[in-house]
A and B are shown apart, each in its own frame.
Chain A
């Protein structure tokens, strides 16, 4: 039996949980823990330049690996700086453990220096949070934090650790808890067999089916099962922004993304479907548009591990609560034993209809109306040069939508973006978290000149730890997505969406010791991308100037149905 201080127990538990990297920033209340970190070398700590970035790094790693990312910060401002990152992870159900130091127990409540109620502040944006009351509880509480973060519907868990809990001179017996149990937390392990049978029957009878899958399929490690199911049935499949990669993006049965900026065919197919199988998706408002007009003819089967996601915004006819992998496995078994879809003629004309829709708007855009490069062609070039095999992170705005639309993800966990919260500043640190853990992979952050400046200080961290991500800045010199809404809804009154005084990003990258390249014309684009990829061990910042007038299409018409869309600046369905 080892006798350890609270601080040493924190670090030892991380070791025993197999945590390789943690991301953080020190300060008074965290110093005992930082000292324990210093005296070992198994858990590696990455010093960020802003705590928000630490959470996004942990988050990026978690999204790529499926394992919880770990963050360590000090009390007060250190803790509050993590809130945006915690909320980002919470909204997208990402497993994360955030250790926030706290002032000593006897100071709590006295408005002590750097005291802030982290339990209260984080409460609405965590899956759960704990405060350590006795040092000897540290191993079990941290184990519970990992357990809660990564099971059921995953999410961030905060553990608030008052400084006296980690005092170096008080030692306690340490054992690694092999497992923990909570009487009030028992995630479901299987779906209801009767409901799954009902779902199978409905699926086989469908004439105009669509399979709509979301981030839950990726989080639940069920992408290959989903793919098998879609292929077995021969039905069309669409993914949400969070679900891209769960079904191969280059497959002929794939309709593309659905929703606000979804493809014409995906939104049309949804609206006209007679059956929708929703898997690990939550009928978010950015998908459904006006729920009162949502898919009027469709019966809905909804599989989700979180019962609260079912029938929240759109009523499910066949709700199935359970982990997507086990439910899909059972569903597949039933479908394999069946005689197959019962309406082949109807399905044939359904596909014919879908192919018609595909012809109408196959994600086209015009390159002839401006000398400037179009953001879409930049993403297509990236896709070709990287052979569709990069980890692509993104920020929030037009560039994010273009990346989602034009980079075809054939594999899950490769498209990493803040879908639910829409956090500008997410993409770059997320890319760093991935690159650090997958050093042999190509990791590209597709960003905009607005978003990148929200965490640009991390260029410094990349230098310190040699994190050679590629930054593809689609520089349209404006908060493009805001500008697009102003064009469409406010007669082009561009209120505060124009970014004046942009820095020279090339010089900025160089100032931080990296490589910067400006790309202003079409013929420079592919060579610049190739050069960036060839410089494997350097961070390369590609500042690509694109047409600021470009809009993202399709775009659903607000408050209407799935199938009411703008297809270009002048064309409406």
Chain B
């Protein structure tokens, strides 16, 4: 099963390499990884998605919690949550495809954020699934470049990940 693990990490150099190192060292896989500062300058928030059965994921979270620089950790997929992945994508948009791609962008509620005579640069935000679906939808057009942020997430309702 796919899990979204979100971590508050000490904002120190080397902290990220401990998290990433743990995954390769113990043979776990990371599907997506997203790290950025938070409102607290001493903390970064790291969100990763991984796959594994319950036992593997239990080990992953326990091992992550043992890292000295991991301050707090939550497996978002254990409860209701919001997940977002951001994709920037360049698609060849010439001839008939120019209208076709535009239609897809509208259906998926994306935005064309830049364009040339032959290329659309599109921004799309959503779950990873939605982004995958968009990629499939425009697969008749020539996809030139894809940049995704990796999943970021937060729990719904009252639940809060903070110190």
Contacts and interface: CB of A to CB of B under 8 A. Distances in A.
A70 B14 CA distance: 23
Contacts of A120: 17
Given A185-B68, A308-B65, 10 more contacts: A119-B14, A124-B21, A183-B71, A184-B10, A184-B68, A184-B71, A307-B65, A308-B62, A308-B66, A312-B59
B123 to A, nearest CB: 35
B60 to A, nearest CB: 10
Interface in B99-134: none
Contacts of B55: 311, 315
B69 A123 contact: no
Contacts of A308: 59, 62-63, 65-66
B58 interface: yes
Contacts of B59: 308, 312
A148 to B, nearest CB: 7
Contacts of B71: 183-184
Interface string A100-129: 000000000000000000011001100111
A124 to B, nearest CB: 5
Nearest to B14: A119
A182 interface: yes
A184 B62 CA distance: 14
Interface in B46-75: 55, 58-59, 62-63, 65-66, 68-71
19 contacts: A119-B14, A123-B18, A123-B21, A127-B68, A129-B14, A131-B14, A182-B68, A183-B71, A184-B10, A184-B68, A184-B69, A184-B70, A307-B62, A307-B65, A308-B63, A308-B65, A308-B66, A311-B55, A312-B59
Contacts of A487: none
By Cβ-Cβ distance, the 4 closest A-B pairs, closest first, are A308-B62, A184-B71, A128-B68, A124-B25
A76 B134 CA distance: 50
B66 A306 contact: yes
Nearest to A157: B68
Looking at A128, A131, A308, the one whose CB has the most chain B CB atoms below 10 A away is A308
A177 to B, nearest CB: 17
Contacts of B70: 184
A311 B62 CA distance: 11
B163 interface: yes
**Chain A contact patch, size range:** 10 to 19
Given A183-B71, A183-B163, A312-B59, A123 B66 contact: no
Interface string A207-250: 00000000000000000000000000000000000000000000
A144 to B, nearest CB: 9
Nearest to B58: A311
Nearest to B24: A124
Interface in A308-338: 308, 311-312, 315
B68 A148 contact: yes
A311 B17 CA distance: 26
Nearest to B60: A308
Contacts of B65: 307-308
Nearest to A133: B13
Interface string B21-34: 10001000000000
Interface of A: 119-120, 123-124, 127-129, 131, 148, 182-185, 306-308, 311-312, 315
A124 B68 CA distance: 13
Contacts of A129: 14
Contacts of A119: 14
Nearest to A144: B68
A391 to B, nearest CB: 31
Nearest to A306: B66
A124 B17 CA distance: 10
Contacts of A311: 55, 58
Nearest to A309: B62
Contacts of A124: 21, 25
Nearest to B62: A308
B115 to A, nearest CB: 41
A306 B67 CA distance: 12
A128 B21 CA distance: 13
Contacts of B17: 120, 123
Contacts of B68: 127-128, 148, 182, 184-185
A367 B21 CA distance: 51
A124 B66 CA distance: 13
Contacts of A312: 59
Contacts of B69: 184
A127 B66 CA distance: 9
A307 B60 CA distance: 12
Contacts of A306: 66
A447 to B, nearest CB: 31
Nearest to B9: A184
Contacts of B58: 311
A311 B14 CA distance: 29
A123 B18 CA distance: 7
A222 B51 CA distance: 39
A119 B65 CA distance: 20
Contacts of A307: 62, 65
Nearest to A131: B14
Contacts of A183: 71, 163
A358 B94 CA distance: 84
Contacts of B18: 123
Contacts of B21: 123-124
A308 B65 CA distance: 9
A307 B62 CA distance: 7
A308 B163 CA distance: 22
A314 to B, nearest CB: 11
A378 B27 CA distance: 43
A199 to B, nearest CB: 20
Nearest to B71: A184
A127 B18 CA distance: 11
A218 to B, nearest CB: 21
